[in-house]
Amino acid sequence: MIWPGLLASTVLLGISACSPSDSTPAAVGGDPIALIAAPAADEWRHYANDAGGTKYSPLTSIDSTNVAGLQVAWTARTRDFPPELFEGIEHERVEIPDDARAQGACGSCHGADIKFETTPLMVDGTLYLSTPTSRVLALDPGTGEERWAFDPAVDLEQGYSEGLISRGVSSWLDPEAAPDRSGVCDRRVFVATMDARLIALDGATGRACLDFGDRGTIDLDRGVALEGRSVDVGDYQVTSPPAVVNGVVVVGSSIGDNRRRDVESGVVRAFDARDGSVRWSFDPIPRTSTHPGSERWSDEAMRSTGAANVWSIISADPQRDLVYLPTGSAAPDFYGGDRPGRNDFANSVVALRASTGEVVWSFQVVHHDLWDYDVPAQPLLLDLERDGDTVPAVVVGTKMGHLFVLHRETGEPLFEVEERPVPPSDVPGEEVWPTQPFPTRPAPLHSTSLTPDDAFGIDDEDRAFCRDWIGRLRYEGVFTPPSLQGTIIWPGFAGGINWDGMGWDPERQMLVVPIKRLAMFVQLHERAEFEASLEDPEEGLEYARQGGTPYGMTRMPMLSPKGIPCTPPPWSKLVGVDLRSGRLAWERPLGGLPDAPPEWGSVSFGGPLVTGGGVTFIAAGQDDRIRAYSTSSGDLLWEAVLPAGGQAAPMTYRYEGRQYVVIAAGGRGGIGSAGDYIVAFALPDAS
């Protein structure tokens, strides 16, 4: 059994060159399509259906009694791969040859890290989605037929630190639009591209809205470089859809943050949805002593530290005029000696006034991050039933498997949070923040104990290798600092909880959470030693210079020689948490591997879909399957083979009286088979 690679061998190498399919942004399609208003319950209007990230639909046509009858209703392709590879194939699984991507929209991308993580929208009778190359497609919801396509002509010859990825688009209906949406750009579709542009498209035609920004486009990489630096092309991207709230488009960025200290600013900006003018901006790292949070930063760090960016999905509460930013770590990830202090607003959820950008409150989940413990998941806004009252809450999921349940208006914890001592650093120049926040309820969803006796292996040789490796490294529980000796990061920096986030059932008050369980190795190296190591890099290691600091860094997932995780299975699990009590309700292994016991699960990436029918859908695993579980009990109700990996969150909608469940099936850089499919499931058509 060979374990697919989880990380690139080195961040110093760019992805293979690709050729753009066109040099000019363009929309392809016929006459304007008819946009048809529909009830909110029938549609999927945001990345997670609502602006608050619940991934919940109230639709009940598919429920626990009939879900086993789901069949493929239609299959569409994005054409990011060469069309001849799929001629005559409807839904069968296809193995993509290593050089097969050379003829498609992605050019010669066979060496690229391609992540098909999109979740479509369904509004006004049309499906809208983005592809890994930032193309935007409009599809017929009943057949999957393409209505129009827009190609932003991203430069695919450029290497990108996050690979080729786009998690989806956003939309906005102009409140002055006619009921039939017949005006130009009445329904706008926004895509933020991997080369850092924000583009507004007409939902009916796919053509650029010329009154937005510069003829439909805003360049997001302007004004983000710190003083004396320039933007490193390919290391400043946008990978998640912007949030749209009350006529304001809010967008963050993805930054390759282990290159050096003074990488690009993690500034978050808001633009007018109609004309693209800047409404406000917020930098999570204070740049002056008058900036909120500056007392927890040194003057030098405020001038020369980059990142703390918002790369994941932003939530919004339009009624309260609030947006909720999940911020990342300040640069670099694994050494903070040059940014002493708690580093407020990094590794936090920050609530801003949507209309002005004013800070309303913030809550930090990791102080002075040294573990790449970004806040990765979209903050989930929900109404919590408690002691006969309904409390507006926000749940923050972390890579450590912690769930912080906060009051949505104040940020105050609704379950007690304790500051507990954590291990000190033994690296010269580093000063760990002495405590970290731990929620008391819900209990952590990820274990924090790992000893040589816990080492896993499929045979004695594998087990002995892992036992020896674990025994040689520093590990004193979660928040063990990186070291010159080498440190185990467990929970690993891939999660716990990651961008795939959580789902919420308001009727059952049940939170559904996919959890990843893969330990990581990280080691700091004195500068001269690190530079010398680059002359003969070790296969499998990721190298990062962390320029401007005394130390370079190497890291990798902890895998045995046969490619199996050194940590015990399951390597992912799906968990149900009853938020009325704050207690675990059920858990199941998630995903699977060929010829492996189901209780092992697999490495997984992809979020859940929770429905009013009491069913939770999720794919995510390495076995290219989508499954349905009972939201109440976690019992498996249905599963189906996908034509490629389902490393995305599914969505659902009702169209012409029929409920569909739709998922992007295209894999994620070795986690799941590669492809370019959109697959829709439905119950047999009674007609």
CA 617 to each of CA 302, 344, 606, 625, 636: distance values in angstroms, whole numbers, following the listed order: 44, 36, 10, 11, 10
All domains of the chain in start order, with CATH: 26-682 (2.140.10.10)
The percent of residues in the chain predicted with pLDDT above 90, rounded, is: 84
What local confidence, expressed as pLDDT, does residue 157 receive?
Answer: 86
From 372, 462, 500, 676, the catalytic residue: 372
Residue-by-residue DSSP string for 195-209? TSEEEEEETTT--B-
- Please state the rounded mean pLDDT for residues 670-683: 92
- Please state the rounded mean pLDDT for residues 233-251: 97
Q: pLDDT of 247-278, one tens digit each?
A: 999 999 999 989 999 999 999 999 999 999 99
Q: Which two tokens stand for residue 557?
A: 């997932």
Where is pLDDT greater, at 13 or 378?
A: 378
CA 56 to each of CA 257, 377, 423, 575, 633: distance values in angstroms, whole numbers, following the listed order: 33, 16, 39, 16, 17
**Rounded CA gap, 636 and 630, in Å?**
7
What is the helix (H) or strand (E) element at residue 460, kind and residue range? helix 460-472
What local confidence, expressed as pLDDT, does residue 293 receive?
Answer: 82
Residue-by-residue DSSP string for 85-130? GGTT-SSS--PPPTTGGGGSTT-S-TTS-EE-----EEETTEEEEE
Where is pLDDT greater, at 228 or 191?
A: 191
What local confidence, expressed as pLDDT, does residue 19 receive?
Answer: 34
Which segment of 11-20, 191-200, 563-572 scores lowest on mean pLDDT? 11-20
What local confidence, expressed as pLDDT, does residue 81 receive?
Answer: 64
CA 523 to each of CA 478, 481, 496, 553: distance values in angstroms, whole numbers, following the listed order: 16, 10, 21, 6
C-beta atoms surrounding 509 within 10 Å:
18
Sheet holding 278-282, edge to edge: 243-245, 248-251, 268-272, 278-282
Q: Which of 648, 667, 669 is nearest to 557 (CA)?
A: 669
- What is the sign of the dihedral through the CA atoms of 278, 237, 214 and 50? negative
Mean pLDDT of the chain: 91
- Are 317 and 360 within 8 A, CB to CB? no
Q: Is the pLDDT of residue 110 over 90?
A: no
Asked if the peptide bond before residue 332 counts as cis, ω within 30 degrees of 0, the response is yes
């105050």: which residue's tokens?
412
What local confidence, expressed as pLDDT, does residue 495 receive?
Answer: 86
pLDDT tier, 96 (very low <50, low <70, confident <90, very high otherwise)? very low
DSSP conformation class of 260: B
Across 227-236, 283-292, 426-435, the highest mean pLDDT is recorded for 426-435
- Are 313 and 325 within 8 A, CB to CB? no
190 pairs with which residues across the strands? 170, 200
Q: Is 0.85 surpassed by the pTM of this model?
A: yes
| Size of the chain, expressed as the number of residues it contains | 687
Classify 479 in phi/psi space as left (phi over 0), alpha (psi -120 to 50) or beta: left
Sheet holding 510-516, edge to edge: 503-505, 510-516, 572-578, 583-589
Known catalytic residue: 186? Answer: no
Burial 72-100 (b: 16+ CB within 10 A, else e): ebbbbbbbbbbeebbeeeeeeebebeeeb
**Rounded CA gap, 498 and 478, in Å?**
17
What local confidence, expressed as pLDDT, does residue 387 receive?
Answer: 85
Q: Is the pLDDT of residue 11 over 80?
A: no
Q: Which two tokens stand for residue 660?
A: 């569909």
- Please state the rounded mean pLDDT for residues 180-207: 96
What local confidence, expressed as pLDDT, does residue 601 receive?
Answer: 97
387 CB contacts (<8 Å, ≥6 apart)?
none
Q: Is the pLDDT of residue 89 over 50?
A: no
Which residue type is seen at 205? T
DSSP conformation class of 259: S
Q: pLDDT of 307-345, one tens digit each?
A: 999 999 999 999 999 999 999 999 999 999 999 999 999
Beta strands in 293-426 (DSSP E): 315-317, 322-326, 348-353, 359-364, 380-386, 389-397, 403-407, 417-421
